Structure 1
Amino acid sequence: MRLVTGLLLCAAVGLAAIGLFWLLAMPDVSALRTTNPTITALIEARQAQAKEQGRSIGRHWVWVPLSRISPYLRQAVVAAEDASFFSHEGFDWEGLKDAALYDLEKGELKRGGSTITQQLAKNLYLSSERSLFRKAHEALITRSLEQHLSKDRILELYLNVAEWGNGIYGAEAASRHHFMKPARDLSADEAAWLAAMLPAPRRYDPLRKTTALTRRHERILRRMSRVSTRPVTR
């Protein structure tokens, strides 16, 4: 009996310590209401990888407000990454269930089922490791982002920090790099190509239209008409 009590006490202390660590490690996401990040965990990780490999990597990153990003790109990204973005509170439970069943079947953490808010949490603050600990931390940050920020602000942040090629971050840099035009001038077709890149932005290139990329582009174009984006007046 004493052994069981001791084990339960140790487990409780351990969980409390983990909870305290997470609370202390939680970023102040409320600052993102009015302040744009100057660096992200993803950018730092890419720079560290390049340094380890003995090479340099540029950083092309131009911040623009949501009102200066083509509504087609907003539609395309929501259609491709998180169709229920404007209606959920940070988590797509059906997607998470499907991902969990897949991972359970395969016996490893492979699929994410991540929403745009979850991806933003990971890009801004977390490593790319696949672990339950990291996913739990991501969930806490996701909830905090949804509580403190509007949907438009979350989408604005995501579109400005997403990776779109080697050293290419954000919609403006991506549009100028791949299509030689500002993000506000992207057509529906061009927007769908950029959205199609997002699962593997360092592998895909809209100028090299592989079969897989083309199929994803076509699916996104079909879905875009079913996705509404609210007008932005800033």
Structure 2
Amino acid sequence: MKQIARSGLRFVTLLLICGLALQLYFLVRVALMLVIDPQSTSFQRSEAWRLLSEKHQIVWAQDWVSDAQISDHLKRAVIASEDAGFADHHGVEWEAIEKAWSRNQKAEARAEQTNEQLAKRQAARKADAAAPARATPKLVGGSTISQQLAKNLFLSGERTIARKAQEFVITFMLEALLSKRRILTIYLNNVEWGEGVFGAQAAARTYFRSDAARLSAPAAARLAVMLPAPKRFEKQPGSAYVSGRAATIVARMGAVELP
């Protein structure tokens, strides 16, 4: 029994050492961002691999620009749309996470109820009838810009407790070591704005044939609307929803405090 206990203790100690080493790795990577612009993220590398695997080519648009080369309109639009409290919070908005969790629970319950009803209808039909498509819940997120950056830089998109916990740790590292302005600059240079379109400069050129520095308030608001689902909105960037949502964001932009 003592031998088993010693082996177990050694195993736990090794896990703790590995965990601490991983956190130190992330800490060093974040610290380097004080002076080095990250040229790619974990999400971008996974997207490049997906494009290569599925389409056998990588069509890519990304061009890093400095904070001064990004329109204040775009900064205000993204903050108004994605994270209104960005300048004031310390990385995590717990109330927003709680609200998102509650909404997602209700959405999953509704989807499950719908699927049960579909299954009953299917059972009442002929056995060879085509099975109806299952309902999937529309999930929302309560992540701040800092959390989104932490996930995109280093982590996968899987929804697990371990991944979320690591996201929190990296978020607090970002907030502790980098200024809000630096966090926003890195985010705007790496966030996805369409398939193979990353960063404010590439987005401005792709959708408005302009530089990021010259984006107007309406154009910036349209780009901000696309962020939650860029691959969907890039197909219809001028849709009624995008236009209506953009108008709402423009109305909010005047109250946004830039870091």
TM-score, with length taken from structure 2? 0.78
Structure 1, gaps ≥5 residues long: none
Is 1:78–1:85's contact at 8 Å kept on the other side of the alignment?
Answer: yes
Give the alignment partner of residue 25 of structure 1, picking from 22, 42, 55: 22
Q: For residue 61 of structure 1, what is the aligned residue in structure 2?
A: 62
- Answer yes or no: is 1:148 the counterpart of 2:177: yes
> 1:214/1:206 Cα in 2 relative to 1: closer, same or farther (>3 Å)?
farther
Whether 1:113 and 2:107 are equivalent positions in the alignment is: no
Deviation sequence 1:95-149 (CA, Å, 0-9, x none): 0111222344437994320000000011111111111111111111000000000
In the aligned structure 2, how far is the partner of 1:83 from the partner of 1:59? 30
Structure 2 CA distance, aligned partners of 1:50 and 1:67?
32
Deviation, structure 1 residue 221: 1.3
Query: What is the SS of the residue equivalent to 1:48?
Result: helix
1:25 Cα shift?
A: 2.3
- How far apart are 1:76 and its partner, in Å? 0.2
Question: CA–CA distance in 1 between the matches of 2:246 and 2:59?
Answer: 27
| Partner Cα distance (1:21, 1:177) in 2 | 43
Task: Specify the structure having the higher radius of gyration (Cα).
Answer: 2
Q: What is the letter of the counterpart of residue 25 of structure 1?
A: L
State the one-letter code of the partner of 1:148.
Answer: L
Q: Distance in 1 between matches of 2:100 and 2:149?
A: 18
Q: Which runs of 5+ in 2 are unaligned?
A: 110-136
Cα distance change on mapping 1:19 and 1:98 into 2, 3 Å: farther
Change (3 A) 1:24 1:215: farther
Separation in 1 of the partners of 2:18 and 2:172? 17
Q: Which amino acid aligns with 2:168?
A: A
CA distance in 2, matches of 1:216, 1:18: 47
Aligned match of 1:47: 48
Q: Secondary structure at the match of 1:219?
A: helix
Q: How does 1:123-134 map to 2 (within 5 A)?
A: 123-134=152-163
TM-score, length-scaled by structure 1:
0.86
